[in-house]
Amino acid sequence: MTKISKRISVFDVFSEGGGDQNVDVPYRSGEEAGGDGCTTVPVDENSVIIATVTEQQNQNASGCETPCSSEEKPSLCSLHQVSRALVAFSIILSIVAASLSILLLFQYFYHPAVQRACPDYLELCASSLNCSLSDGANSCPPSRQPSNRTVASEYKNPVLLLTGRSLLQLYSANVGRYYTVCHQGWKTSHGWTVCRELGFNSNTVLSSPLSLNVTDAICLESFAVVNKTLQSPNNLETFLSPVESCPAQQGVSLQCTDCGRSASENQRIIGGSPSAWGRWPWIASLRWDGRHVCGGSIISAQWVMSAAHCFVLSNFLTVGRWKVHAGSTSLNPSMSVPIRSIYYNGLFNPETNDYDVALIKTSQPMAFSETLRPVCLPRTQQQFQTPGNCWISGWGHVNEGGQLSPVLREAKVHLISSKVCNQSSHYPGMISERMVCAGYLDGKVDSCQGDSGGPLVCQDGGLWWQVGIVSWGEGCGRPNRPGVYTNLTALLDWIYHRLQTDSEIP
């Protein structure tokens, strides 16, 4: 039985020395009175004495309180002391009763909504999910079996960006077909409409003509041109008019974010080295109660992607206890952004690690800069060649069983085919279509605990594309046990469906 490790820094969250320290507050006794001729009466520290207003006035008038003298009758002295005790006791009871009443009323009328991470399926009933005041369980009827929803008959993404060239195709529900969009008549405003349909609200939309002579055959089956109108269309059905072929044989290459551009091109991560400032501007640290647990990647101004197991395995489902830290290579306090919602794939399997992906929406947009910008999501049918120019980065353990790295580390890794990775000498039959292996078969360079949820990126066409999410592996850097990553290309439908479903929520 092999030991499979999810690369989450659970033990670092509860490491010694990181919590709040108990501070002993010394007891402060009353100061001795001097110079006023009054005799100080010893006070029993085990009792609580609350003076009434009248008694305080009497003290101010006389300068000091005179205890019962021996000349007074014992019965009167005792009665006086009992009366004082009863008055003090009554006041204490009144205060306690009032406090309890206020507390009970507060608890009765005030019910704070504790938002929790939601399991998200591509099901029609997904909109009924409400994780507040619940355990984050799926509320779909038990009779409905969750499905991948990537089958053509079940779900059609309204927008496709094909291959590394980002060729635009739009789906017509009336016809049941994807159309390659011709560049003739294309305007920037059209790009905004399409990107909003895809789930991106960014004003940064990049489009350019693309020669259809260098595209795959699937892109040359059906074509459409943009309808001539003075206003931007409100939906895709009124957006296009089918044609036999595109004028000038040009389609539209579209990007909805200015993604995949690094501010630095220099050369965690086991066997890696410290990363340069701005080298990986999309990397994020996800922190539970201020402590780093997992990595993440920025995909838009308000969306961060990570691994489902970061939230599910340790029951870290309370949204309010998470924050996103981005724009820095250090684990020291940096710019933090509160989180509004967390969604993890409802088909995530803790036993097999399948469907290990989650999306986090921040409470407010992040301001992009040279050290903070999004990574590119892979395109439909985009192929990344082995070994490829691929890198991993994170603050995880620098060696198996070690400690988190205080600075961001990076390492170059090779993509390994699933056919090789599924062999008996590696991970026999454990690599699904939604997983991809990367690293080296002789070990040494690998991701580790604390790197979970971070990005595996590969460079293609001058841009950095996120190919995978750090997911699991046997140990760290062991021979014949490369790192296993979530294959994002196989889960694009789930990602875009979530972006589209949540895009209208402010």
Q: What is the pLDDT of residue 188?
A: 83
Distance CA 252, CA 240 (A): 13
Pairing state between β 291-300 and 250-255: unpaired
Q: What is the pLDDT of residue 205?
A: 83
Give the H/E segment covering residue 295: strand 291-300
Residue 452 known to be catalytic:
yes
Greater model confidence, 32 or 86: 86
Supply the angle between the helices 492-502 and 188-198 in degrees, to the nearest 10: 100
Task: Extract the tokens encoding 22.
Answer: 């108990």
Of the residues 9, 202, 341, 452, only one is catalytic, namely 452
Q: What is the pLDDT of residue 85?
A: 78
- Burial (CB < 10 A; 0-12, 13-18, 19+), residue 348, is buried
* pLDDT tens digits for range 192-222: 888 988 888 777 788 999 999 877 777 788 9
Worst-scoring range by mean pLDDT, 48-57, 235-244, 487-496? 48-57
Are 295 and 275 within 8 A, CB to CB? Answer: no
Q: How many residues does the chain have?
A: 506
Distance CA 499, CA 359 (A): 9
Are 455 and 469 within 8 A, CB to CB? Answer: yes
Of the residues 309, 397, 426, 497, only one is catalytic, namely 309
Distance CA 240, CA 223 (A): 9
CB atoms within 10 A of CB 295: 32
The CATH architecture that domain 159-255 belongs to is Roll (3.10)
**Any idea of the CA torsion for 100, 105, 108, 113, to the nearest 10 degrees?**
-100
Strand blocks (E) in 232-335: 240-243, 250-255, 273-274, 283-288, 291-300, 303-306, 322-326
SS3 assignment, position 88: helix
Greater model confidence, 22 or 496: 496
Question: What average pLDDT does the segment 112-128 reach?
Answer: 68
With a CB cutoff of 8 Å and minimum separation 6, the contacts of 279 are 262, 263, 264, 265, 266, 329, 393, 410
DSSP 14: T
According to CATH, what is the number of the domain 273-502?
2.40.10.10
Are 501 and 340 within 8 A, CB to CB? Answer: no
Distance CA 226, CA 238 (A): 9
Query: To 5 degrees, how large is the angle CA 422–CA 426–CA 432?
Result: 30
With a CB cutoff of 8 Å and minimum separation 6, the contacts of 276 are 264, 266, 329
CB atoms within 10 A of CB 59: 13
**Domain boundaries defined on the chain:** 159-255, 273-502
Q: What is the pLDDT of residue 136?
A: 41
pLDDT tops 60 at residue 153? no
SS3 assignment, position 320: helix
Question: What average pLDDT does the segment 451-476 reach?
Answer: 95
Which residue from 415, 341, 323 is spatially nearest to 378, judged by alpha carbons? Answer: 415
Percent of the chain residues past pLDDT 70, beyond the cut: 71
**Any idea of the CA torsion for 40, 42, 45, 46, to the nearest 10 degrees?**
-140
Greater model confidence, 29 or 347: 347
Q: List Cα–Cα distances, 267 to 274, 337, 344, 396, in angstroms.
A: 9, 28, 32, 18
* pLDDT tens digits for range 252-277: 999 998 999 887 654 445 556 777 77
Are 471 and 356 within 8 A, CB to CB? Answer: yes
Give the H/E segment covering residue 172: strand 167-172
Distance CA 262, CA 239 (A): 35
Of the residues 12, 354, 356, 451, only one is catalytic, namely 356
Give the predicted TM-score (pTM) of the model. 0.74
Worst-scoring range by mean pLDDT, 2-6, 114-118, 209-213, 348-352? 2-6
Query: To 5 degrees, how large is the angle CA 453–CA 203–CA 188?
Result: 125
User: At 488, phi and psi to the nearest 5?
Assistant: -70, -30
* pLDDT tens digits for range 380-432: 989 898 888 999 999 999 888 888 999 999 999 999 999 999 999 999 999 99
DSSP 355: T
Residue 356 known to be catalytic:
yes
Residue 138 exposure: Cα atoms within 13 Å on the Cβ side: 21
Which DSSP string corresponds to 248-263? GGEEEEEESS--S--S
With a CB cutoff of 8 Å and minimum separation 6, the contacts of 365 are 301, 302
Task: Extract the tokens encoding 60.
Answer: 């101010």
Question: What average pLDDT does the segment 17-41 reach?
Answer: 37
pLDDT tops 70 at residue 436? yes
CB atoms within 10 A of CB 170: 22
Distance CA 72, CA 276 (A): 87
Same fold, 159-255 and 273-502: no
CB atoms within 10 A of CB 405: 23
Task: Extract the tokens encoding 92.
Answer: 């204490």
Worst-scoring range by mean pLDDT, 10-19, 20-29, 325-334, 343-352? 20-29
Distance CA 484, CA 399 (A): 17
DSSP 151: S
